[in-house]
Each structure stands twice: as C-alpha cells, then as structure tokens.
Structure 1
Amino acid sequence: MDNLPIFTQRLILRPWEDRDRDAAWAMAQDPQVMRYLPPLTREGSDAMINRMMAMQAQHGHTFWAMARRDDGRFIGMCGFCPPRPPLVEYEIGWRLAREAWGQGYGTESARAVLDWAWAHRDMATIVAITTRANAKSRALMERIGMAHAPDEDFDHPALLETDRLRPHVLYRIARPKS
C-alpha cells in the first residue's frame, strides 16, 4: 500500500478502520471543531468514513485517520484526495479533535502527507481550501509552504448561497524542485 501507514515523530497516518467511527463521530459533535464545516449527522459521519475507505481502495490514498504514536488514540484526519469539482488539482486537508489543537500535530501531519504525495504520486501541485474565515487552517497552509491564490477563491458550489461558509479560499504548493 505504498508504504502505509505513515509514521512521524508523534503520529500515525493510516487507512480508516471501523474502530474509528465512534471517535470520528465524537469529533464531529464538537461545535469548535465543526465551526467552519457543515454539520454532520451520525449517518453523514459514517458515510464520510465509507467514502474515505473507498477512496483509499481506489486511489491508494485519502484523508487518512490520524492517531498518536504513544497511545494510538484517534485525534483526527489528514491526507489528500484526487481532484473533485470544483477543484482540478489534488487537495490536501485535515481535521483535528480539539484536544489535539495547538500542539503542532496539524503541521506535522500535513508535512508528512506532502512528503508522501511527492514521493508516491506524480502531480505538479497540491491545493488546500477552507472557508475564508478559518484563520487557523489558513495559517497552517502557510506554515507548510502553501501560498494563497486570491484570484482562485470561489463560492463552494455544495453550499447554499446564503451559507456563511460558502466563500472559500484556495492555497497551492508546487512540487519541490529536485
């Protein structure tokens, strides 16, 4: 499976397992975690995991489950997915449980995902998106070397015109030169 799981100093990024469902659902119940994301029902959370499992099976990568190495505790997700409308490039993304905030896990996992993507997939660039107001995700994008492409900001077509989350920003990083 292309050298999975991915191990960092403190984290394991791995394909989703059924045992992750309750922890992912608990994370989706935290209003601070979901502040910049559409709300999820339990069925929606399970469907998201099913999509991640299917993407892993089809493409060999997804937004992987993230666990701490020291105790194996699920603390979120980080990975990348193939282009899907409205995007035409591969997309990196993450979501962390609130208990994992402020400890550098987002940056550590995103850097590991970029390293894996460059080593195992042939793409020139990777993008990240978030709602305009999500300053913490935008700061993480900048910490991992992504640059805002303001002329490519967009209104997310999956969200209603009246949804406060609809305005999105796009950040991009190019494959490092060898």
Structure 2
Amino acid sequence: MTPTLRTARLLLEPYVPEDEEGFVALFQDTRVSQWMGDGPASEADDRALFGRIFTKVYARELFDVWAVRRDGVLIGHAEIKPTGVVDGHEIIYALTPTAWGGGLGTELAERLVAYGFGTLGLAEVHATVAEQNGASLALLGRIGFTHVRDIEEDDGTVTQVLTRHRTTAPLHSPELPPVRSPE
C-alpha cells in the first residue's frame, strides 16, 4: 500500500476518487503534459489513466503513486516505479505551473529519492527526461543525478537517462518516515 509521505511544504498521499478533476486538469495542461510519457493525451485518455491508478496500480500494489498537495490543494503527481527502460526504479513527478520556481520540484524529487533509498532499499534511482526539458535536467543535476546515456526516440527527439547512486550524499534532510493516514 502506498504510504503517505511529507516534506517541509508538501503532502504526498494516495489519490482518492475526488482527485479526478485535479488530476485531469494537471495532465491536460500542455505545459506539464509535454514532458510526461508520450506527451499530451486526450481528456478521455487522462480520465482512463486516473481510473487505472485505482483498478490496476493500487489494486495490484504494482508501485507507488501519489497525489501531491500543498495546503490541502492538489498541485502535482509523483511516482516511483520499476521500469525496463533503465532496468531499475524511476522517479516521475509533475507540478502545476503555478507551483514552479519556488523549490517545490526539488523538495519533491528529493523526497522520492529518499523513499527509494530508505524505504525501498534501492542502490540507485533513475529519471528519464526529454533533452529539451532544461528545468528538470538542471533540478536533477543539483540533487546529485548524473547523465548516463541517451535514448533516441522514434520521433527523433532524445531522452536523457539520469542516475543517482545511494552513495551520493543527500543535499537536504535525511528521509522522513512514512506517515500513515488515520484509518
């Protein structure tokens, strides 16, 4: 079961059905979705993706997926999951554009890495980022990720594979323990 996690300013908790509109709005914003998966999708596809979080990911406990909240408002999405692209675990995160530029992305990425190293016991954590996404590449570089290789996509674009090893010293606080929601 996906645990609830905290940072200084963020709460990461499993999605609830009432998050659907916020999830769809996040993924329908092309400033966000251009960097996610295969890029922008239809609203129907994003709604289906949200449904699969419950019917597939949570139901089968495949990997951890979180709604990212600040002051009770859904402002982002986060995952850490095994992937064959890097033969390991990859972090995935997105924030609404109104949350950009204040260090929340760094805070979120660091928390995902800490969870991967601490709770999951991983030796390394990966990220795949479009070569044109300079903001994410810079953020990940600041927190200890290094470029490993490039993947040339079918459309000719390049995705960079970045890795952070457990031996890389954390730049912020050590992992905070998971916080369980009251049941």
Match of 2:65 among 59, 63, 66: 63
Query: What's 1:123 paired with?
Result: 122
Name the CA distance, whole Å, in 2 between partners of 1:52 and 1:107.
24
Name the CA distance, whole Å, in 2 between partners of 1:48 and 1:95.
15
Structure 1, gaps ≥5 residues long? none
Distance 1:174 1:76, change over 3 A: same
Name the CA distance, whole Å, in 2 between partners of 1:28 and 1:99.
14
* Offset at residue 40 of structure 1 (A): 1.5
Task: Name the Cα RMSD after superposition.
Answer: 2.2
SS at match of 1:33: helix
Query: What's 1:154 paired with?
Result: 151
* Offset at residue 59 of structure 1 (A): 4.0
Contact 1:52 1:64 (8 Å CA) reproduced: no
For normalisation by structure 1, the TM-score amounts to: 0.82
Instruction: Map 1:51-90 onto structure 2 (within 5 A).
Output: 51-53=52-54, 54-59=56-61, 61-68=63-70, 70=71, 72-83=72-83, 85-90=84-89
Structure 2, gaps ≥5 residues long? 170-183
- Deviations along 1:103-124, one digit per CA (max 9) or x if unpaired, are 1111111111111121211321
Name the CA distance, whole Å, in 2 between partners of 1:81 and 1:176.
20
- Moved segments of 4+, more than 4 Å: none
Match of 2:163 among 153, 172, 175: 172
Name the CA distance, whole Å, in 2 between partners of 1:167 and 1:144.
22
SS at match of 2:86: coil
Name the CA distance, whole Å, in 2 between partners of 1:59 and 1:141.
27
Aligned length, in residue pairs? 166
For normalisation by structure 2, the TM-score amounts to: 0.80
Query: What's 1:102 paired with?
Result: 101
